[in-house]
Amino acid sequence: MIRVTFFAGPDDPRGTTVAAKPGQSLMRAAQAADIEGIAADCGGALTCATCHVLVREPWLGRLPPSAPDEDDMLGFTAAPRQANSRLSCQIRLGADLDGLAVDLPPTQY
Ligand code: FES
């Protein structure tokens, strides 16, 4: 199992840690655990940008760079894009990401 922690803003300093399966996307792991704040309207088809997350270091540096399609969609996030913005449907979880920590943006719409 891969542990992933979602932080929902300043009122959530401890975050919510969930167990994900290898090969699962971060978006699917969030949905399986009923994490609020990941809408994922398109179901991972890379057409909605409502699965926006902000990836904390050192994890950001361990992710492969965003593909051009993801990079394009990051231009459509409701909350302003940050340097550490990624789309959670495009993050594939593996043992190397055990402990991954991400912040949820204030809104997905
Ligand atoms: S779920 Fe729609 S872009 Fe990620």
What is residue 69's predicted lDDT score, i.e. its pLDDT?
A: 97
> What does the DSSP 8-state code read for residue 32?
H
State phi, psi for 103 to the nearest 5 degrees: -100, 140
Mutational test site, ligand 1, from 24, 25, 27, max ligand atoms within 8 Å of CB: 27
Give the domain ranges of the chain: 2-103
Q: For position 20, what pLDDT does the model report? A: 97
pLDDT, position 68: 98
**How remote is the CA of residue 95 from the centroid of ligand 1, in Å?**
23
User: Based on the number of CB atoms within 10 Å of its own CB, is 44 exposed (0-12), middle (13-18) or buried (19 or more)?
Assistant: middle
Measured from the Cα of 90, ligand 1's closest atom is 4
| Ligand 1, pocket residues at CB < 6 Å | 27, 40-42, 44, 46-51, 73, 87, 89
- The predicted model scores a pTM of 0.97
Domain with residues 2-103, CATH architecture: Roll (3.10)
Q: Which atom of ligand 1 is nearest to the CA of 44?
A: 1
